[in-house]
Chains A and B, each alone.
Chain A
Amino acid sequence: MSGINKVNFLLPNKLEPDKKTESKESKNVDFSELLKNAIKDVNNAQLQADEAVKKVLSGETKDIHETMIALQKADVSLKLMLEVRNKLIEAYQEIMRTQV
């Protein structure tokens, strides 16, 4: 077995064995939980953008660029979420296509 290389080199972070046990605690976070949090963040960005638009329309903020930046943030985070969703659906469909 000693002649066989570990598959570690394929892993993006090249985790060391001792580090693995260490990071296991933090990795125990549920994937669905992670996803939920991400979606919550995206939603927050949308709400912030909403608030920024309200502020600029009511004349509370004089900096239009703050509003535009909030909008762009919301836009990009939504696109990221969509991209993640597309990947998930793709993976799901890939699994459904598996021959049993």
Chain B
Amino acid sequence: MSYFDILKIASTGLSAQRIRINVISSNLANANTTRTEDGTPYQKREVIFRTILDGELRGGVRVEKVVRDEKPPILKYEPGHPDANEEGYVAYPNINPIEEMVNMLEASRSYEANVTVLNTAKQLALKALEIGRA
């Protein structure tokens, strides 16, 4: 397991968390979207992670797929809304912005953690080079 493997693994983590933040940003942006291509309110998206195992020790992570959250939409009584149904209720996306913010925080912390791993690996390599400098 070479030093560069650490970089590779951490880089998969960074990529995965970046995609996750992308999805979260899409969720937040569409938190009030009542119209999508198929006429239904926007559904919350979530990412599924999977390890990439390369031998017993080397493992990275990748985004397996992005799934839709099948929770029912939030109904709000707004009779004047063009998308309201016969009873005057509008179906809003099943997105809780607070929840999304928390997820984003977690994703960004996770990203930072991966960056820390990278820096630690680099520092270790540079420290190892100092062995010869006696």
A interface with B by C-beta (< 8 Å): 62-63, 65-66, 69, 72-73, 76, 79-80, 83, 86-87
Contact = CB atoms under 8 A, between A and B. Distances in A.
B58 to A, nearest CB: 16
Nearest to A90: B132
Given A80-B129, A83-B129, A72 B15 contact: no
A83 B129 CA distance: 7
Contacts of B11: 63, 65-66, 69
B7 A69 contact: yes
Q: Is the interface of A mostly helix, strand, loop or mixed?
A: helix
Given A66-B11, A79-B129, 5 more contacts: A63-B11, A76-B126, A76-B129, A79-B126, A86-B133
Contacts of A80: 129
A63 B19 CA distance: 10
Given A66-B11, A69-B118, A76 B132 contact: no
